Amino acid sequence: MARIGLVAHDDKKDDLVAWAAKHRHKLGEHELWGTGTTGGRITEGTGLKVTRLLSGPLGGDAQIGAMIAEGRLDALIFFQDPLTALPHDVDVKALTRLATLYNIPLAINHATADAVLAAL
């Protein structure tokens, strides 16, 4: 069982919920962690159990980052919106930097999320 972090920018939350619904059975085999709103939306939309942290800009991104640094996450699915500037962009960069530094699979769109999930 892998421990998977689930995060999505506001304009990508619907996409992540749709992706999670499509892969509901496979995701159900794993331990899921999500930032506040994203985790709630995934649970509501799919019935999957997602342990919810704080909302991303209120510390959830930092909590996910800490989990990566502490070796408590095995993969990160982070659907990003490259066309929207975010006030918490520093948190987003820190999160992707930690995933890279600690060498965990990082998916930022449907194609890479499919590949990461298949590899788990």
Domains observed in the chain: 3-119 (3.40.50.1380)
Mean per-residue pLDDT, 7-13? 91
Q: Which helix (H) or strand (E) holds 26?
A: helix 24-27
Q: Which helix (H) or strand (E) holds 58?
A: none
Would you state the pLDDT for residue 106? 97
| 61 classed as catalytic | yes
What is the structure's pLDDT at 87? 65
**Mean pLDDT score, 50-67:** 94
Question: For the chain, what is the mean pLDDT?
Answer: 94
For residue 53, the model assigns a pLDDT of: 97
**Phi, psi at 49, each rounded to 5°:** -85, 120
pLDDT tier at 89, thresholds 50, 70, 90: confident
Options 61, 74, 81, 91, the catalytic residue: 61
The single residue listed with the structure tokens 């990566």 is 68
pLDDT of residue 86: 67
- In angstroms, rounded to a whole number, what is the distance separating the alpha carbons of residues 68 and 87? 23
> Would you give the distance in Å from CA 37 to the centre of its chain?
11
pTM given for the model: 0.94
